[in-house]
Amino acid sequence: SLLPSEYRDPLLPTGRRIQRAWRVVRSVGGEYDRPMSDAPAIETLGLSKIYGDSVHALVDLDLRVERSEVFGYLGPNGAGKSTTIRLLLGLIHPTAGRASLFGLDTQRDGLASRRPVGYLPGDLRLADRLTGREQLDSLARLRGDVDEPFRLELCRRLEVVLDRPIRQLSKGNRQKIGI
């Protein structure tokens, strides 16, 4: 196996049931191209999220993903995968534990910890009255510091439809705009 034994088949309690989540890691080489410490790409220690008094969405997740690794976070519905992503992105706050991205604490360092991270949800919501170009311009203004030549090259390579309203695009073409 590619993983140390402590990372194999962790038991994640969800609600009243116990389910398994499987994690797979494969090294692909190379380093992240921004100057950062040698800290892992993702690290969580005792990360937990409890809603109300009884819904244990995530319990004591200890996770470490090194830089240059491809990581698949797999598990059945309700195992805490989406909750983990939302915690890492600061969309929700943990009940206990901590998380870091590239050595930056997701709570304390907020925006700086998320800057090198991209997130494309399966249910991406875009302003359907805007064209693809208008949507990308709007997102660029929100994010700031966008490499316009890179954006244009990526749009060209992905064959993104930029001049039609988003409501007229297929889900696949909307996802390309999300990328």
Residue 155 φ/ψ region, left for φ over 0, alpha for ψ in the -120 to 50 degree band, beta for the rest: alpha
**87-110, pLDDT tens digit by residue?**
999 889 999 999 999 999 999 998
Confidence at residue 37, expressed as pLDDT on a 0 to 100 scale: 64
Residue 59 φ/ψ region, left for φ over 0, alpha for ψ in the -120 to 50 degree band, beta for the rest: beta
Confidence at residue 172, expressed as pLDDT on a 0 to 100 scale: 92
**161-173, pLDDT tens digit by residue?**
999 999 999 999 9
Neighbouring CB atoms inside 10 A of 19's CB total 15
Confidence at residue 136, expressed as pLDDT on a 0 to 100 scale: 94
**4-41, pLDDT tens digit by residue?**
344 333 443 333 233 333 333 333 333 334 445 689 99
Confidence at residue 71, expressed as pLDDT on a 0 to 100 scale: 86
Looking at the chain, the whole-number percentage of residues with pLDDT higher than 70 is: 79
**59-86, pLDDT tens digit by residue?**
999 999 998 888 888 889 889 999 999 9
- Binned at pLDDT 50, 70 and 90, residue 142 comes out as confident
> How high does pLDDT run on average in the chain?
80
Secondary structure of the chain in the HEC alphabet?
CCCCHHHCCCEEEECCEEEECEEEEEECCCCCCCCCCCCCCEEEEEEEEEECCCEEEEEEEEEEECCCEEEEEECCCCCCHHHHHHHHCCCCCCCEEEEEECCEECCCCHHHHHCCCCCCCCCCCCCCCCEHHHHHHHHHHHHCCCCHHHHHHHHHHHCCCCCCEHHHCCHHHHHHHHC
